[in-house]
Amino acid sequence: MSEKRLTIDYEEFASVKGMTAEDQQLVAQCLEAQKGSYSPYSNFQVGAALRLANGVIVKGANQENAAYPSGLCAERVAMFWAGANYPDVPFDTLAIAGSDHGVLCESPASPCGACRQVMAEYQKKHGRPMKVILVGSKRIRKFACVDESLTRPAPSELPQGRNAARVGGRSGAM
């Protein structure tokens, strides 16, 4: 037996000052996205803004439902919409902000395990790092890639040529 240690590198900002103009814009968009939250049960409003490699920004907000767990997290709302509408465009940066009863959390809310798994798979699908920005009122954390926030995702061996088969041959629902 040998002991191993995992370390995670990330940048931390006290505010958006010091971030690039591009990142500041994405942070503003994820804060704006919180307005779309439907969270009557948790009163926890989460907004996500996903910048795609083509510059398009897709927003998402958490959607709850009385028939729990029929709702969905803000991050997955954004990623699935992007995946459905821009299937071939890589994800560049995902920014996430969470507010409790309308007040932005001081320490950044962190994606749940299911969202991290989805992030990891899209990153793998597109073959390039997806940056992640977690926004709090007292601090903002930026991770260079999904690996830094989910170090051991479930193994996803994407079937070879899956996209090619879908685009080239099949159509309609599977």
Only segment of 15-23, 29-37, 67-75, 102-110 that touches Zn ion (CB under 5 A)? 67-75
How many binding residues for Zn ion (CB under 5 A)?
3
Which candidate, 88, 58, 92, 89, places its Cα nearest to that of 76?
58
Is 113 a residue that touches Zn ion (CB under 5 A)?
no
Residues 6+ apart with CB under 8 A from 106: 136, 137, 138, 139
CB of 2 to Zn ion, least distance (A): 33
**Sequential DSSP letters for 4-24:** -------EEESSSTTS-HHHH
Does residue number 134 form part of the binding site for Zn ion (CB under 5 A)? no
Shortest reach from residue 75's CB to Zn ion, in Å: 6
b/e burial code for range 107-116 (CB count within 10 A of at least 16 → b):
ebbbbeeebb
Question: From the CB of 114, what's the least distance to Zn ion, in Å?
Answer: 5
Tokens of 29: 């968009």
> From the list 73, 78, 95, 119, which residue makes contact with Zn ion (rule: CB under 5 A)?
73
The catalytic residues are 75
115 contributes a contact to Zn ion by CB under 5 A: yes
What tokens were used for 112?
A: 């749940």
- String of contacts with Zn ion for each residue 12-31, x by CB under 5 A: --------------------
Alpha carbons 112 and 79: distance in angstroms, whole number: 14
The answer to whether residue 56 forms part of the interface with Zn ion (CB under 5 A) is no
Spatial separation of the C-alpha atoms in residues 35 and 60, rounded to whole Å: 10
Does residue 112 touch Zn ion according to CB under 5 A? yes
Q: Which residues bind Zn ion (CB under 5 A)?
A: 73, 112, 115
